[in-house]
Amino acid sequence: MSYQVLARKWRPKSFETLVGQDHVVRALTNALEQNRLHHAYLFTGTRGVGKTTVARILAKSLNCEKGITAKPCGVCDACTEIDRGRFVDLIEVDAASNTQVDAMRDLLDNAQYAPTSGRFKVYIIDEVHMLSKSAFNAMLKTLEEPPAHVKFILATTDPQKVPVTVLSRCLQFNLRQMAGTSIIEHLQNILGQENIPFEPTALHLIARAAAGSMRDALSLTDQAIAYGGQTVNESEVRAMLGAIDQSYLYQLINALLANDGASIIAQAKSMEERSLSFEVALNDLAQLLHQIAVAQTVPDSIADDLPERHLLLDLAQRISPETLQLYYQIALLGRRDISLAPDEFAGFTMSLLRMLAFTPSETDLKKTLNKTPAIANANLVSANTVNINAATTEVKTVTLPTETATEHQVAQSAEPTRSQLNIPASQPAAESSDENAETQSFENITHTPFNGNWRGLLDQLKLGLARNLALNSALLSYDENTMRFAVQDKDKGLLSPMYQDKLSAALQQHFGRKIRLEFSVEGSVNTPAKEVAQEKAVAQAGAESSIEQDGFVQALINEFGATIIQNSIKPI
């Protein structure tokens, strides 16, 4: 028997096996079950999403020998003949090759005759937008009032070119592009039944290249099987697709974050030597920045089996949201304007240098520091001030490990007055200590003393975007005026002015007065985020131990050879 390609062999033959078009399946199923049948249907959507497949399943549902049903039997003569493309009362017309009015008139003349063996005579007109204006006009009357035994099913990839007079006579269904996860799951199922070994990363590449088309995905899988010698591996699929390892994009972003212009230019020259398209590179860079933004906002939405997952999450922690948005906007504009550049290399490198130029740097922050009188008097040379509010002389400092200036100088030169901090005159000031936190006068607006439980306090604050900074900060000490925190080196990217302002505002709302925030960067500190992660790990280990020691589970393993799927165990 000759080989049948996957796209034909695994074409869905019922609504139950159709992937990714639940909204269409639901509407057609309800109509068939309630016998509310229209005389003309229009299916729209991009290539390979299942327009013709849905049309053929609908034709089977209308002509199945067991009656009009949403679940055709698939074994009667009508069902089997439709699956084989031999059913005499199913007429499929390719409008792209039959555009003229004479072909349409012949088709409509034949429509008046009763079906030969089926219940309905079904006309499937594919790429209907290719018909000429005269052909559309010829079919209008029949399309509006066809004989009772005729059903029209039209399909098109470009509904904008179909006259509104035709659209108004049809029930229209828009078939969506397939989600990447749906394509991957379907390919996994097919390759499993075909006994073809595969690597998950290879299927991710195929799904990405298919761009929402299941047919394209199946065709690429067929090609990958032939290319890889009955296996679907990442290396072979990359070679087959001509896909370039996108690690250079991560290297570019790392160079931007490190303010390393030399590495950026060197990477661009390497891309030029490899004949990479700089326009495509800017598009891919924008896509990567979007993925990082998603990982930053909703990290749980990043699939566990995504090859770049750990890199995305790492960059999401290191790059500030405002810088990320800046890079994304510049990438979009660079891609739009690259045709105006002297050449693609110049356009690409100028976009990257623009990102570098507009990224807030430590030098810019020092310039701001020297222009502020309250700080200039302190003779502070190497402290990095991130936010200065001149109206209240509120100072927030970030002290890097290598800095030599003392925080005491900053505090003395810009010490807020008691009236500025809204502290009653009768309330004694607590003494600051780097080791022991004082609590006598550190109360919130309900006069509840703060006991130094930073993690507990977070549950009472309205943090919003500042929650990530708060969770990754360890409270070192505090007094009535100041709270001192430490963050790990890997989290210093969170110390953006915006996040600190929001955290300061939340604390002010809670305590009823302004509190000065001071941050330092240290190698290892015990943050609320670390505590939560440790507790989750302990709970997970306990859950796994309980399952492994359960008598019933052990019996299943011993008697039936069952295995425990570790990632399915969740603590209660």
pLDDT of residue 397: 36
CATH code of the domain occupying 180-241 = 1.10.8.60
pLDDT at 103 over 90: no
Structure tokens at 50: 């299942």
pLDDT of residue 133: 86
pLDDT of residue 107: 81
- Could you give the CA distance from residue 54 to residue 72 in angstroms, rounded to a whole number? 13
Can you list the positions of beta strands (E) in 270-425?
Answer: 384-389, 394-399
Mean pLDDT calculated for residue range 30-41: 90
pLDDT at 400 over 70: no
Q: Tokens 């990839």, residue? A: 157
Q: Tokens 């509010």, residue? A: 389
User: Above pLDDT 70, what percent of the chain?
Assistant: 82
User: Above pLDDT 90, what percent of the chain?
Assistant: 16
List 125's β-bridge partners, or say none: 93, 154
Structure tokens at 326: 């800046």
* pTM beyond 0.85: no
Other residues' Cβ atoms within 10 Å of the Cβ of residue 145: 9
Helix or strand holding residue 151 (H, E):
strand 150-156
Can you list the positions of beta strands (E) in 157-236?
Answer: 171-174
Helical spans, DSSP H, in 36-193: 51-63, 77-84, 101-111, 133-144, 164-167, 180-193
pLDDT of residue 218: 92
Please give the span between the terminal C-alpha atoms of the chain, in angstroms, as a whole number.
Answer: 54
pLDDT of residue 305: 63
CATH code of the domain occupying 247-358 = 1.20.272.10
State the sign of the Cα–Cα–Cα–Cα dihedral 259, 265, 266, 271.
positive
364-524 is classed CATH 1.10.287: no
**Rg for the chain (alpha carbons), in Å?**
33
List 91's β-bridge partners, or say none: 123
Structure tokens at 384: 């990095």
- Could you give the CA distance from residue 478 to residue 432 in angstroms, rounded to a whole number? 6
Mean pLDDT calculated for residue range 447-464: 80
pLDDT at 436 over 70: no
Mean pLDDT calculated for residue range 469-493: 87
Model confidence pLDDT, tens digit, residues 276-330: 788 888 988 998 899 899 888 888 777 766 667 788 888 888 888 888 899 999 9
Asked whether 497 and 387 are in contact (CB, 8 A), the reply is yes
CATH for 6-174 (2.60.120.40, 3.20.20.80, 3.40.50.300, 3.40.640.10):
3.40.50.300
Confidence of residue 104 (pLDDT cuts 50, 70, 90): confident
* Separation in Å, CA 2 to CA 5, 9, 220: 10, 12, 20
Mean pLDDT calculated for residue range 503-528: 86
Model confidence pLDDT, tens digit, residues 233-292: 888 887 787 655 667 888 899 889 888 889 999 989 988 887 778 888 898 899 889 989
Asked whether 40 and 154 are in contact (CB, 8 A), the reply is yes
Mean pLDDT of the chain, nearest integer: 79
Contacts of 132 (CB under 8 A, 6+ apart): 99, 100, 101
pLDDT at 372 over 50: no
pLDDT of residue 99: 67
